[in-house]
Every structure is written in structure tokens, then in C-alpha cells.
Amino acid sequence: MISEHLTTCRLCPAFCGMKVELDGDTVVAAKGDPLHPISRGYLCPKGRNVGAFHHHPQRLDHAMVDGVRSAWDVTLDDLASRMKAIVARDGAEAIGYYTASGGAYDTAGRASIGTFFRKLGSSQRYSAVTVDCAPGMRAQQIVTGGSAEITPEWFPDDQAPKLAVTIGSNPVVSHAQLGMMLSDPVRWIRDYQALGGELWVVDPRRTETARFADHHMAIRPGSDAHLLAYLCRELLKDGANQSELDHHVAAADLATLRHALGPFDLELAATRTGLEGSQIDDLLAAIRRAGKLVITLGTGLNFTPDALLTQLLRWVILVITGSVDREGGMWVNVGWYDQLEKRERRSVSQAAPEPKTPRSRPDLPMWLGEVPCGAMVDQIENGHLKALFINGGSPLTAFPEPERLRKALRSLELLVVIDVMANELTEIATHVLPAAAMLERSDLPGGWSQHMAYTAQVVPIGADRRKTWWMFAELGRRLGFGVMDGIDPDTSTDDDVLMAIAANGRQPAEDLFAAGPRGIILPRIYGWVHDRVLPGGKWQIAPDALIDRLPDLLKPVERPDSLRLVSGRELHNHNRMAYGRYGHKRFDANDLPTIGIHPEDAARQGVSQGDAVTVKGDRGSLSGTVRIDHSLLRGTLHLTHGALGRNACELVSSEIDPATGQPVMMSAIPVEIALAS
Ligand code: SF4
């Protein structure tokens, strides 16, 4: 008999409402929940395919030690005893963890791993923040003088500004970005336009979002900062919100900024971006007409060499137009747990850099309590990281120089992989810990945007898998400490753990549990950043990170005639996980990715649809298959982001921007393309 269960999709942080149909313990269908207040019945192909993912033959079913199937007690005893030996010899600091999107949406697992490592006494914590989010978060910290979590958000409803500009982001395909969680994207965009909203897309590709937008600006990859610098300069002459400037911007900062932006005229913007001057001025006029606006910058932009500068310029435009933390503009998420608007100023101000640095990379300061991912390989090679837990991610698809990293990972005494699917890391792990997938655990999805929910477990946990929180509770017990107060791995349930986590939330935990997957909408509170965060009530609109970097934009472009490679997500994938394709075939890491190329570039390079090609960057090359793509700007190549097997990591150096901890160049990469020999 078929039963129906209401839950939340947690394959990405859009957290769509989902109805799962079961025949016994078999998932036979997944549909959108039409009564969910945000997703309104929408599920993308990843969510609709959750049954194939859940029952996939490559799911991890049993714990493994050194490649051999092992009982849980034996596995955890062995792991704990090897950890004790490392701690006794090298200290707890020699044991670290990396967590990414595969583990980030498991509330109990995420909380337990963080607490476990704090109690263990290790600060070697790595996460995907310094893979693809750091420039945006660093800019937030710099301009507000506060916390990196102070994220301006928007939603395309009747409270939104009437102008939205999205740069290097494609929400119709990639529904969750910093400050924009947009499930059911096409309908929301159409609703927004029906309310008088105007959507501009700035992207070298005519993306799926651009097809629904009012305007598309096909900008040259990596030149977004030039566009924003010009807009800033002109808005400071005409278009700024005078009250915001008078009360919340220091006069000296304004003068410094005006001076620094002096050279960024229309001619320079047009030359560098490849856009028509009239197109750029049309956008400027649209901003002046709208007054307040939304600007969202996507992951693609965060990978470009001038990402931090672009993020800072975006903030300056939002600030000078009075578009952030003001009604009619973007609100700043107050959080379910953090309740930032209630805190005293000092507790949301974390602008002082964290002085600690990883021993092998003193040039890369820690921030957000984490070591920048770019330091991981050096830490291993220099003997400062002996054991690594990897929770739901693969540094091999996310960091530059993957072969160097693979060698380093193989040299670890302990490589502990917690995941739901077999992958290239489980092949080299000392310990494989098979985790519950989303339908096998209860959860508290949300809180990163305006929505917060509770979902119960949908199916019994299968095979010999375990909850991630349970693994760390058991390990803590073996190492002599409790991981979560009042939680006993023998008797506690998911709900006990989640209830303890939710106890510190905005509303009583019971209310949240009662709200279920349709959840609770968080309040939009305006003005609290001005009142409680800004030092002296002023935005930092002329920070050194902006003023010192602007002159770099005036240098001649290196290799102006090179093709530039950009990466983008596909609807069926979330980073390395091909959720929407599981079930069609076994996933093969040796599959060649497709390389999108404009037909005129293809003709010039002598390649055709389906050809096997080699793309060569400064530090390496990758193989792919040509896909002729009319939606691309000439001079641009396009590759799927984060794909297992082959991705942009193969092409670039491991140079890190010390201000963000993120690789300097993972997009807009100068490359050559040729038929594979
Ligand atoms: S993977 Fe798709 S269905 Fe699931 S939450 Fe994200 S957008 Fe929604």
C-alpha cells in the first residue's frame, strides 16, 4: 500500500517542501508540496529523483576499515584508539575535519561534528566557506564592521525593491545563493515582474534566468568590478540616498571613495566589460529610477580574481542607495538561532582578524574559526595534519592542484570519510562511515534564509548506516567526553538532539516542531544593523581592501585575446553530487565533462560538436567533449561546476587571496582549447 509523507528536500539549501510516496520502505515518488509557503509545489529534478538516489547501488551500506567491511563497534574502537595515539604523540591539533554541502544540511550532524572538535581541542576545522563563499562573507564583515554572517537578503514579493540585478548567478538552475533562496524560481520571477519588478541578469552566458529576465548584459568574464566601479562613481554624483550618506557614511570615507573611483569612467567600463556604453547607462538609469535595488552576486562571481573587490563595490552601491537594512530594500537575516537583532553590539562585531594562522601557512589567517581550505595540503605535507575527517564533500573536486592533494590525503594516518555514496575518497579512506541520507533522519531545515522548519524521518535507516550525530557521540564516549549535553547515543533519538539544538531558537522548540515541514517564516526586521552593528553608526564604504585594490583594475588586461573558462551549475547536480542523474546509470568519475563553446570560437579553434578536446590552463589541463553553445559570449568557454572527475581545479594554481582564504582564480581562467591528441 502506498503511503504519503510530508517532508523537506535537503539536497540543497533551497529546502523545498516535498511529499514522498512509499511502498513499504521503498521510495516510489517525490512530488512538490503545493502548500509550502516558499516552494509552492515546486521540486527540481534533483528532488524529484530522490528515490533513485536513496536506493542507488552506490549508497554506502557498511562501515569499512582499511578497505575491509567492519562492525560499528570494531570500527569506532579502532578509530578512537588510533586518534588517541595521534593526540598523545602530536596533540589534538593534528586531527582536523572538512565539511561541505553533503553534510551542511544535516542539522544534528553539523552541530555534533563542530562540538566534537571543540571538545577534542582541535582548531583545524575546514569548510566549503573558503571554497566558494568567502569573498561575499568577508565583504559583509568589512563593510558592516560586524559579523561575516550579516547577509542582506531578498525575496521577489511585494516588499522587494522594484529593481533586481543578479551578477554571475543563475537562480533558475542554482536555487540557493548567499542572500537568495529561490525555489520555484520561474514562477517567483514572473510574479515579481507582474508586481512591477524589473530583473537584470549580468552574465557572460544567456543563462536560464536571463531568458526570463527583462534585460541581459553579456559581460566579459571577470570584468564585473569594472561595471560596478563605474556605477558607484556615477551614483555618488546622482542617485545616492542623501539621508543615508549624511547619517551613516563618514565624510572622509566618501571623499576617499570618490577620489579612488575617479578614473572609472564609461569608456573604461565599456572597454573592459565588452558591453555597449548605452547598455551600461541604461542600467544606471534603471537604478536611479528605482532608488532602492537588490544586487545578488553568485558563486560564479566568487570564483573570479576580483571577487572581494566586486563584492565590496556591490555593498557600496547598496549602502549609498539606502538599499540595505531599510524598508523597501534588502533586509538582513536575523537568524533563528543567532537572533542577532537582540544582541549587544559587541557580540555581533567580529571585525578584528583572528590572529591564529595554520603553522605551515602563516600568510593565511584563520577566520570564522576555520583554517582556509587552501592551507590543507600544506598542513598535511608539513606534518601538521595527520588525521582528517571529511563529512559530505570532496576537496578533490573543490581545491586547486587535486593530484597534489590526492597524494597528501593518501599520506594521512587517518582519512575518515563520512558520506552517503561511494566516491573517489572512499576508495582511499582508512575509515568509511556510511551516513543516513536525508529521508533517513529528522531535521531542522532552514534558518539561513527567512524560513525555518522541522521534518520527521521518512523511512527507517537502511542497511548498516548510522546518523552522523550518533557517530560523534560514540567517538566522544570512547575518547572520554560527552559531545552534546544530555544526549546518550544508546537511547537518544534524532528528535532529542534536534530539540536540544532548537531550545536556543527564536521561538519555543515545540512551536517549531509543531509547524512541521511547512515551517515558520522569520520576521523581516529593518534598521537593526544601523542601530546595533555599524561602528559609530557608519558603514565602512572606503575600507583598505577596496581602496588598495581599485588601482589593480587599471592595469592592462593580461592576455586579452585568451579564451576565458567559466563554471556553472546544472539543474541535475549540486556541486559534485549528480542527484538528478542517479538511477540513470552508475556514476563514473571518468566521464568526460562537456565544454561549452560559441560556434564562432569553435570554428576558429577547429573543433566541432562532440569532439574530444583538451583545455589547457597555466597549471594543468583537462579533457572534455565539445558542446556548441549559442548562449555563450564569444571568447567564453563553459564547464560544469564541481563535477566529479574533471573540473576547473585541474587548471589553476593554488595561489590564495589572504583576505578571503579562497583560491585567487577558479573562474574567468585564461585557457586554450585544442582537439585531444
Ligand atoms: S535540490 Fe531541488 S528540490 Fe531539493 S531543495 Fe534544492 S531546489 Fe528544492
Q: CB neighbours of 339 closer than 8 A, spacing ≥ 6?
A: 506
Q: Which whole number is the average pLDDT over 428-448?
A: 94
Amino acid at 667: S
Identify which of 7, 8, 10, 12 to mutate to test ligand 1's pocket (most ligand atoms within 8 A of the CB): 12
Cα 358 to averaged position of ligand 1 atoms, centre (Å)? 36
**Cβ partners under 8 Å of residue 359, min gap 6:** 379, 382, 384
| Pairing status of strand 68-69 against strand 95-99 | unpaired
Tell me the residue type at 300.
G
Band (pLDDT 50/70/90 cuts) for residue 579 is low
pLDDT score, position 500: 94
Pick the more confident residue, 354 or 14.
14
Q: What integer pLDDT is reported at residue 576 of this predicted model? A: 63
pLDDT for res 567: 85
| 251, amino acid identity | A
Neighbour tally for 427: CB within 10 Å: 11
pLDDT over threshold 70, residue 219: yes
Mean pLDDT of 243-272: 98
- DSSP label of 29: E
**CA 579 to ligand 1: nearest atom:** 1
CA of 115 to the centre of ligand 1 (A): 28
Say whether pLDDT at 586 is over 80: no
Query: CB–CB of 61/465 below 8 Å?
Result: yes
18: CA distance to ligand 1 center in Å? 9
Q: Please work out whether the CB of residue 439 comes within 6 Å of at least one atom of ligand 1.
A: no
- pLDDT range class, residue 247, cuts 50, 70, 90: very high
Cell of 672: 586554450
Q: Is the CB of 12 under 6 A from ligand 1?
A: yes
- b or e along 444-460 (b: 16 or more beta carbons within 10 Å of the residue's beta carbon)? bbbbbbbbbbbbbbbbe
pLDDT at 129: 87
In ligand 1, the atom with minimum distance to the C-alpha of 47 is 3
Q: Is the CB of 15 under 6 A from ligand 1?
A: yes
**Higher-confidence position of 373 and 569:** 373
Q: Whose CA is nearest to atom 2 of ligand 1?
A: 44
Residue with CA closest to ligand 1 atom 8 = 16
Q: How far is the CA of 175 from the centre of ligand 1 (A)?
A: 8
At a CB cut-off of 8 Å and minimum separation 6, what does 350 contact?
141, 146, 147, 148
CB atoms within 10 A of CB 607: 21
Distance (Å) from CA 32 to ligand 1 centroid? 10
CB distance 182 to ligand 1 below 6 Å = no
Is the pLDDT score of 249 beyond 80? Answer: yes
Distance (angstroms) between ligand 1 centre and the Cα of 20 equals: 13
Total residues found in the chain within this entry: 677
**According to the model, what pLDDT value does residue 163 have?**
98
Q: Compute the distance from residue 171 Cα to the ligand 1 centre, in Å.
A: 12
- Flag the least confident range among 64-68, 325-329, 446-450, 556-560: 446-450
CB of 183 closer than 6 A to ligand 1? yes
Best of 31, 175, 439, 443 for a ligand 1 pocket test (most atoms within 8 Å of beta carbon):
175
Mean pLDDT score, 491-512:
94
What SS3 state is found at 287? helix
572 Cα–ligand 1 center, Å: 10
Give the least confident one: 35-44, 176-185, 217-226, 480-489: 176-185
Q: Write the residue with the smallest CA distance to atom 6 of ligand 1.
A: 12
Backbone φ, ψ for residue 96 (5° rounding): -135, 180
Q: CA 408, 411, 414: angle at the middle one, nearest 5?
A: 110
Q: How far apart are CA 540 and CA 368, in angstroms?
A: 20
CA of 22 to the centre of ligand 1 (A): 19
Give pLDDT tens digits for 641-676. Answer: 766 657 788 888 888 998 998 988 888 999 999 999
Q: pLDDT tens-digit profile of 289-309?
A: 999 999 999 888 888 999 999
Cα 308 to ligand 1 centroid, rounded to whole Å: 28
Cβ atoms of 213 and 537 closer than 8 Å: no
For 232, 309, 422, 563, 671, the CA distances from 559, given in Å and listed in that order, are 27, 21, 41, 9, 10
Average predicted confidence (pLDDT) for the chain:
92
Flag whether pLDDT at 581 surpasses 70. Answer: no
**312: number of CA atoms within 13 Å, CB side?**
26
Q: State the closest ligand 1 atom to the C-alpha of 10, by its place in the atom list counted from 1.
A: 5
175 lines ligand 1 (CB under 6 A): yes
Predicted pLDDT of residue 570: 75
Closest ligand 1 atom to 45 CA: 2
Query: Which residue would you say has higher pLDDT here, 187 or 149?
Result: 187
What average pLDDT does the segment 455-464 reach? Answer: 96
- Sequence-distant (6+) residues with CB within 8 A of 355 are 365
Question: Which segment, 124-133, 278-287, 524-533, 565-574, is predicted with the most confidence on average?
Answer: 278-287
Does residue 232 line the site of ligand 1, with CB under 6 A?
no
Per-residue cell: 485: 549535553
Task: Determine if ligand 1 sits within 6 Å of the CB of residue 47.
Answer: yes
- The alpha carbon of 13 and the centre of ligand 1 are apart by a number of angstroms equal to 7
**Residue 133 confidence (pLDDT):** 87
Q: Is-contact 674 608, C-beta < 8 A?
A: no
Whether the predicted pLDDT of 493 surpasses 70 = yes
Quickly state the pLDDT bin for 114 (edges 50, 70, 90): very high
CA distances from 407 to 227, 402, 591, 618 (A): 41, 9, 22, 21
Distance CA 11, CA 14 (A): 8
Is there an atom of ligand 1 within 6 Å of 314 CB? no
Cβ–Cβ < 8 Å for 201, 215: yes
Q: What is the pLDDT of residue 350?
A: 47
Q: How far apart are CA 648 and CA 669, in angstroms?
A: 8
Average pLDDT over residues 487-515: 94
Question: Residue 583: which region, alpha, beta or left (left: phi > 0; alpha: psi -120 to 50)?
Answer: left
pLDDT > 80? residue 572: no
Mean pLDDT across 633-648: 81
Whether the per-residue pLDDT at 439 is higher than 90: the answer is yes
One-letter amino acid at 340 equals L
| 612-616 and 669-675 beta bridge pairing | antiparallel
Q: What is the mean pLDDT of residues 361-380?
A: 91
Label residue 367 by pLDDT band (50, 70, 90): confident
Mean pLDDT of 51-66: 94
- CA-nearest residue, atom 5 of ligand 1: 15
Q: Is the dihedral of CA 564, 180, 212, 297 positive or negative?
A: negative
Atom of ligand 1 nearest to the CA of 12: 6
Question: From the CB of 9, is ligand 1 less than 6 Å away?
Answer: yes
Q: Is the CB of 50 under 6 A from ligand 1?
A: no
Query: Could you report the per-residue pLDDT of 313-345, keeping only the tens digit for each?
Result: 999 999 999 999 999 999 998 888 878 888 766
Task: Give the chain's domains with CATH numbers.
Answer: 2-54 (2.20.25.90), 64-130+370-445+460-502 (3.40.50.740), 152-332 (3.40.228.10), 563-675 (2.40.40.20)
Q: How many whole angstroms from 53 Cα to the centroid of ligand 1?
A: 13
Q: Are 439 and 55 in contact (CB under 8 A)?
A: no
Residue (of 9, 19, 2, 27) closest to 459 by Cα position? 27
- Residue 585 pLDDT: 52
Ligand 1 center–CA 169 separation, angstroms: 17
